[in-house]
Structure 1
Amino acid sequence: MVVGGLPVHNRPALLLAVAFALGILAAEWVRPHPVLCAAILVPLAALAAGRRGGALLLAAIALAGAARWSYVQTAGRGNLDAWTDRRVTLVGTVVSEPALQEDGRVTYIVAAEAAQGQPARGRVRVAQRGGTAPAYGERVAATGVLTPPAPARRPGGFDEAAYLARQSVYLVMESGPAERMGPGRVDWFRRVAVATRLRLEAVLQQALPEREAALMAGLLFGSRGHLPEDVADAFRGAGVFHLLAVSGGNVAMVVMPLLWLLYRAGLGRRAAAALAVPAVVFFIFLTGASPSVLRAGLMAVLVLAGDILGRERDALNTLGAAAALLLMGVPGLLFDLGFQLSVAATLGILLLAGPIRGWLEPRLARALPGKPPSWLSAGLAATLAAQALVEPLSLHAFGLFSPVGPLANLAVIPYVGLLVPFGLATVLLGLFAPPAVWLLGVAGRGALVGLVYMVKALASVPLAQVDVGRLPPGWALGWYAALAWAALPEARRIPAALWARLRACRRAVRAGGALAGALALLAAAGAALSWRLALAAPPDALELVVLDVGQGDAILVKAPGDHAALVDAGPAYEFGTGGGRFDAGAAVVVPHLRRIGVRRLDLFVLTHPDVDHVGGAGSVLRALPVGQVLVSTPRAEEVHHVSALETARALGVPVRVPQEGEVLRLGEEVFLEVLGPPSPPITGSRSDDNANCVALRVVYRQVAFLLACDLEAVAEERLVERGRLLRADVLKVSHHGSRFSTGDRFLEAVRPRYAVISAGAGNPFGHPHADVLDRLSRAGAEIWRTDRHGTVTVRTDGFQVRVEGSRGRPPGAPGRPLLPWSGRLIGVW
């Protein structure tokens, strides 16, 4: 096979990396025990060695990748699982730099040495509240309960468990002030590297104002902890956020001047390379050893090692070797987006930059005189080549496309290429000659202000960033297949080879007789039909999603035909002293809507003015077009409710109070029956706002959902006495499971098969109340809770109902079928 014009067999490291990565992916899907992998690996490796079969050897390498990842997920986790859900005193070394969170906690990772005085092995993410934060490399004793990290709160949301697992962390601890016990078990090389970076950042803070110092720290070291949000948003909007992640350009910024100085000092190629290797390793640890700098730094080390050994350079093989070594050491990197983007960008430049430049340069030369066509085509080719392979990953992760990205990179990268070496030189000089820092303060400040102005101007261009929705994995694979077809001659030969195989099969069928051919065709047609039906979700499915927004409500009704209604938007609140702000609309609701492709809301229902229901409403209204807003009352004093209504009116969105008994349509077959607010309104109850909330019964064909907002018992009794049709397959339990709601008579009228409770974990109200859980159980309802099961998604075709939780399911609930809607597979046969 040929890649980039050269045979792949000349790049064994590239094949090794691909095979090893495929093995890790397979192990993540199948989750085998490492002993099983080893049992298969040994005979397969022996067979490959005996026959010298390339395919068998690659299979053995893939199996080795599966064994490595399986080991990391099981035996490689250490022995801390024995203390799960127990309060322990953990002694260990801080192996990550402490980070201040919005809620005032300081988080860091501890490599355990002992737990409760007994030897322990493993890594724990500690969240410390109060006291002085320990330093990197310091030994600490922290006391708290060891628990598994939380999985994603909603489908496609941030998965803390997976994120920490990539760092070999499988337990977390909430701790008070930790006892600091002096230096820990960290090698001096890493300790010095981290201390040096902290000292360099201190020099930056002395020389520059806070905003400019944070930006320069991001450009030099990839530090983004103190970067102003408006600057970060501008870099994202212009498509140049990657400049704030240390990668190949930063490594080259260190290696090239160093090699030049060593050559000027009279050293030969091998001696200079030998001295440059420790400098690169030091720079990797100095910048925090992120996946992108690990990849770039290891590639540089391998190139320098080749110079020492006198080997010929090959960039593709070097990339493969770097990726393979990193995955062998830390297989979880394969699932890290930073690692994926770094490898994809480098591969794109190596494979496609040359052909793109060859196509661009003559065309630009006809339009522009002199040298501009040469450097312009080189810059555009590198940007477009990297973006060609990076874009599917970025669209899959974020769903945002930046049309101005290539031009923004062309303008910003040369500017940064001049600014960064100047900044690094002056900050290094400032370590030894502090008065020299004034140069950075004078010239650097103006250059950084100019950079921010340039990036914000690019980000403000109309349609600079377009929300196109997250790219499904199948589309991403199709993108790469089309790219391979266009760029790699060998890929274009694959269809011909497949056609030749099909012709051979046809000849074999003819030789076996017409009956065999007919049976084969019948089996193929049946398989194709059944798999098509099994893999494709029905186009007429309705989804009701109860989002995990903590102690609050946010419910999405996604109807067939791209119609959608949102009922409430979750809470908004300030953290304690020194903390930040949480807005469920911006943090949870809007990202989920974008992830599943909701671009417009037909209806936005604010059931009542309480902050746990309307806190995130303003963010939703500003993010998506809304057809109309329904409220329980247009008059309320709650600040978030007032702000949401003002935002709606400013955007020209109609706001009205629905009438009891009114029926609203959401598409062709979905009806929303308004059960409240009652007319006349209820007065003198425990909470008139709750009693008069907007309650809805959603009906789709033969399936009904009852969204009971925060109805109080008096409102429930009123509905029963008036003879309202309340029967529903799914009940969104009122008022988060409060004991003052969900009475026996109400449940007898509803008779739910499933009950979904939206409540925050450890909330101070004791929701859901034990009495409510008991009443629901006696009514025969299967109970789903957002505090335990995460975001709860109910899917129905109008006849059958299936419920899933992003973080698990209740005991005894039926498991997920092998494939989505796989009942149809059996029906076909």
Structure 2
Amino acid sequence: MLRGRRLCKISLLIIITIAFSVYGPWDYLGVYTKANAADCMPEGTQVQAVGMIYHKEIKNDSVLYYVRNATVDSEIGRLSNTSFIFKFNSDEIPNYCKLNIKGKVSHFMTARNDGAFDMNNYYQSMGLYFELSNPEVLGYSCGLLSGKDILYKLSKALDAVYHWALPGEEAGFLSSIAIGNKGDLLGDLKELFQTVGVAHVLAVSGLHVSVVCMSFYKLLRRRGKSFICAGILAGIVAVFYGLLTGGSISSVRAICMFLIFLLADILGEAYDSLTALAVVADFLLLGNPLLVRNGSFIFSFGAILGIWYVALPFSGIYGKYCNERKKLMKSDDGFGKAIKKPIHRVIVEYFVSSFIFSIGIYGAMLPIVTQMYHETPVYSSILNLLILPLMPVLLGLGLLGGFLGLIYLPLGKLILMPCHFVIYIFEMIASMFSKLPNANAIVGHRGIIRIIIYYGLIFVAWRLSELFNSHIDAELINPRTRISYIRRKMLVTMGLFIVVICTWFIPSKQSFEVDILDVGQGDGIYISSQDGVRFFIDGGSTSSDAVGKYTLLPFLKYKGASHIDYWFLSHMDMDHVSGVLELLESGYRIDNIVLSAEIPSDDTLSQLLELCKANGTNVLYMNQGDKCGSRHLSFTCIYPFDGMVSDDINALSLALLMEYDEDGDGTVDYSGFFGGDLGAEQEIAIAQSGNVGHVDLLKVSHHGSRFSSDSEFLSLLSPDVAVISCAKVNRYGHPAAEAVERIEAAAGSIYYTMDSGRVRARVGGVDVFIQESQ
């Protein structure tokens, strides 16, 4: 694998050393020093900073500036050599200028639930440690060239050409793939391409270097330019294009590898892509070790390794098979006579080889993709066959039309007209594939042991392919026997590789757990039974926008929950149902929605029922005493009582008693009570009904309102664990001090989602997503 690659081995050792410091329990290299120093400045600290702007981009009608090598002064002290971002309403401040600015420190949000996007981790991995809010620019100074902001203005001018020549959605798409400008890329279009697994076409990557830089280099060489002259000119174009497109990780990786290729070509040395990849990784990580946690870094470098160690060896087997068939054709027609393949066979071999190559990358990247997104597009290998061949055409026309449009707009529009049809074809194909059954397979989070086993099996399959290739080289007397042998071995090796991929989709064994999510001001409770049936209680928020998209769905994907069997809704307040409505609108599979038989009709209920009908979701109604569940886990409707009516929607909340039987012997091993937004009056009625007693877990009613959590009710339940779900800042004053006092008197321990994030309860105890000491 690494035989003879000394530089590659040294570079790999550096990468491993950095990775252990970043991911391990002991930061022996001090890679988190800058991040920890920035954390010492409390939220809202007034500071003055001096640093260099190295990038800016338009985001949501404002301009996001990136600042590095900054010195930050405040009353607390000085922070040196740090980096941060700030938003401004103007793009007049040039790149690569020295900036003097005042503002308040704002720390990035951290994830509060499993599967949620961690903004703090993302920006730290990019070497950015805080945001400066309410910025006041005191001044800036620029050099002769940096003051003109040439590359940024050129990027804006090209973007303007695209918008003049194409409709807005298509212009944003072309601007993204050609010059790396994602500011005008519509969210729906980006989400569509992510769903079907071809979002990589939106990023500037190795394809761009191949189309732009390598093509330019080869053109110069064909025109008789020397290695040095052609290499220097092509290198300048590569660096220029990288700066123009914003210097993304994938583009920096591709351009640096291209520069190493040029250097090897000039010096007359052999180019080794693995060594180049390792050297570039060292170059990036030594500048920012935390980059090893960055998703773009992992994807970009992982894809090259996947191509080298998986895709190429497996597609090479088919290539060997095709070559042997060609030799057999020659032997049948006469020794040494050139045989031209029929065009249909050339096309078939191309697509089969490309498909095997695509499957190879898919298998190599599968754990990385699912660990990042907890799902994988099923048909991406086929879709890539249809889209990628057109990408060089789209990119070439896009860049040519853009630059010619700067000279003469009508000419640029003429060149860009074919781009309209290519982009339309892309959208049409992607939309068609997104509607296929099981277009996305939700896999969930996998442990490190599962990942090691998977790649171990990939290694075994790879070794078999190596042994297979070496064995084929042994001369077989009969050509037909030889090709028959090759075909059998190829099918066995490919079949083994497909089996390895399929093992990744084997679901992990479920165990009993109750996860009370941090949804802000609202409720969302996920419950998994031992026998594979999944339940959810409520799911909404009034403090978090799109709680279904950004909190509930990522959590469900993390848990590998492709659907929910029973989703209980206590009542129709939006802080309990807004996320459920989002999920139904998105098409997420919910088999059964369970409501109280006494639920009053309103507009929200009508909307819910319409969505259930459109989604094929059953609607079940529970009366007091009804049970719903599985062999090991059941939910009993405790409240409301039959025939109850009330003007207060909270007073008719569905209250459930959960009972878990681990061994199936009829003994309750864990119990919990969930009462929606019940008030003290309803809790007293439940206590007097005699239908409840001691429980292990109490999800506190009405977010800890002072009008709920009655003392008599709490005394009867005497929960071992009580959990309050509410936002840190809310207009209701939840949780109320008097309610907390009553709960503390009755419960063994109390947890708050506003402090702990997600709270998980199991038979063995409770764990929280965010440690309170933090």
TM-score, L = length of structure 2 = 0.83
Match of 1:202 in 2: 160
The 1:240–1:539 alpha-carbon spacing in structure 2 relative to 1, beyond 3 Å, is closer
- Read off the aligned partner of 2:342 and give its amino acid letter: P
Q: Is the 8 A contact 1:122 1:169 kept in 2?
A: no
The 1:540–1:702 alpha-carbon spacing in structure 2 relative to 1, beyond 3 Å, is farther
Which one of the candidate residues 721, 742, 745 is aligned to 2:709? 742
Q: Is residue 2:333 matched to residue 1:369?
A: no
Match of 1:73 in 2: 32
The residue correspondences of 1:28-67 to structure 2 (distance < 5 A) are: 28-34=22-28, 67=29
The 1:9–1:604 alpha-carbon spacing in structure 2 relative to 1, beyond 3 Å, is same
The 1:645–1:105 alpha-carbon spacing in structure 2 relative to 1, beyond 3 Å, is farther
Between stretches 605-614 and 325-334, larger displacement belongs to 325-334
Offset of residue 738 of structure 1? 1.4
The 1:273–1:633 alpha-carbon spacing in structure 2 relative to 1, beyond 3 Å, is farther
Which one of the candidate residues 260, 275, 288 is aligned to 1:302? 260
Q: Is the 8 A contact 1:208 1:440 kept in 2?
A: no
Q: Is the 8 A contact 1:190 1:285 kept in 2?
A: no
The 1:748–1:351 alpha-carbon spacing in structure 2 relative to 1, beyond 3 Å, is closer
Partner Cα separation in structure 2 for residue 134 and residue 760 of structure 1:
38
Offset of residue 85 of structure 1? 3.2
The 1:465–1:703 alpha-carbon spacing in structure 2 relative to 1, beyond 3 Å, is closer
The residue correspondences of 1:394-409 to structure 2 (distance < 5 A) are: 394-409=369-384
Q: Is the 8 A contact 1:586 1:620 kept in 2?
A: yes
Q: Is residue 2:518 matched to residue 1:557?
A: no
Q: Residue by residue, what CA displacement relative to the aligned partner does 1:730-774 show, whole Å, maximum 9, x if unpaired?
A: 211111121211132222222222221111232222222222223
Match of 2:385 in 1: 410
Q: Is the 8 A contact 1:606 1:632 kept in 2?
A: no
Match of 2:553 in 1: 590
- Read off the aligned partner of 2:175 and give its amino acid letter: A
Q: Residue by residue, what CA displacement relative to the aligned partner does 1:542-591 show, whole Å, maximum 9, x if unpaired?
A: 21111111111111111111112111111378x9xxxxxx3222322122
Which one of the candidate residues 13, 16, 36 is aligned to 2:7? 13
Offset of residue 418 of structure 1? 1.2
**Percent sequence identity over matched residues?**
25
Offset of residue 786 of structure 1? 1.5
Match of 2:473 in 1: none
Between stretches 133-142 and 181-190, larger displacement belongs to 181-190
Q: Is the 8 A contact 2:569 2:593 kept in 1?
A: no
Runs of at least 5 residues in structure 1 that lack an aligned partner in the other structure: 35-66, 494-537, 576-581, 812-829
The 1:452–1:656 alpha-carbon spacing in structure 2 relative to 1, beyond 3 Å, is closer
Partner Cα separation in structure 2 for residue 256 and residue 33 of structure 1:
40
- Read off the aligned partner of 1:584 and give its amino acid letter: V
Which one of the candidate residues 141, 146, 153 is aligned to 2:112? 153
The 1:342–1:695 alpha-carbon spacing in structure 2 relative to 1, beyond 3 Å, is same
Match of 1:662 in 2: 626
Match of 1:697 in 2: 657
Q: Is residue 2:109 matched to residue 1:162?
A: no
Partner Cα separation in structure 1 for residue 386 and residue 433 of structure 2:
10
Q: Is the 8 A contact 2:21 2:27 kept in 1?
A: no
Offset of residue 441 of structure 1? 4.5
The 1:740–1:184 alpha-carbon spacing in structure 2 relative to 1, beyond 3 Å, is farther
Match of 1:605 in 2: 568
- Read off the aligned partner of 1:630 and give its amino acid letter: L
The 1:772–1:126 alpha-carbon spacing in structure 2 relative to 1, beyond 3 Å, is farther
Q: Is the 8 A contact 1:95 1:186 kept in 2?
A: no
Q: Is residue 2:768 matched to residue 1:805?
A: yes
Q: Is residue 2:21 matched to residue 1:27?
A: yes
Q: Is residue 2:196 matched to residue 1:238?
A: yes
Between stretches 380-389 and 479-488, larger displacement belongs to 380-389
Partner Cα separation in structure 2 for residue 21 and residue 692 of structure 1:
59
- Read off the aligned partner of 1:23 and give its amino acid letter: T
Match of 1:52 in 2: none
Q: Is the 8 A contact 2:592 2:620 kept in 1?
A: no
Superposition CA RMSD, Å: 3.3
Q: Is residue 2:731 matched to residue 1:764?
A: yes
Q: Is the 8 A contact 2:518 2:753 kept in 1?
A: yes
Q: Is residue 2:170 matched to residue 1:212?
A: yes
Offset of residue 216 of structure 1? 0.5
Offset of residue 249 of structure 1? 0.8
Partner Cα separation in structure 2 for residue 154 and residue 562 of structure 1:
21
Which one of the candidate residues 593, 608, 613 is aligned to 1:644? 608
Q: Aligned residue pairs: how many?
A: 705
The residue correspondences of 1:225-624 to structure 2 (distance < 5 A) are: 225-263=183-221, 266-361=224-319, 369-370=342-343, 371-373=346-348, 375-488=350-463, 541-571=511-541, 582-621=545-584, 622-624=587-589
- Read off the aligned partner of 2:602 and give its amino acid letter: E
Partner Cα separation in structure 2 for residue 187 and residue 721 of structure 1:
81
Match of 2:743 in 1: 776
The 1:721–1:663 alpha-carbon spacing in structure 2 relative to 1, beyond 3 Å, is same
- Read off the aligned partner of 1:698 and give its amino acid letter: M
Q: Is the 8 A contact 2:525 2:536 kept in 1?
A: yes
Offset of residue 713 of structure 1? 1.5
TM-score, L = length of structure 1 = 0.78
Partner Cα separation in structure 1 for residue 192 and residue 167 of structure 2:
19
Partner Cα separation in structure 2 for residue 475 and residue 191 of structure 1:
49
Partner Cα separation in structure 2 for residue 304 and residue 21 of structure 1:
24
Partner Cα separation in structure 1 for residue 144 and residue 451 of structure 2:
41
Partner Cα separation in structure 1 for residue 43 and residue 695 of structure 2:
38
- Read off the aligned partner of 2:73 and give its amino acid letter: A
Offset of residue 116 of structure 1? 3.5
Offset of residue 408 of structure 1? 1.8
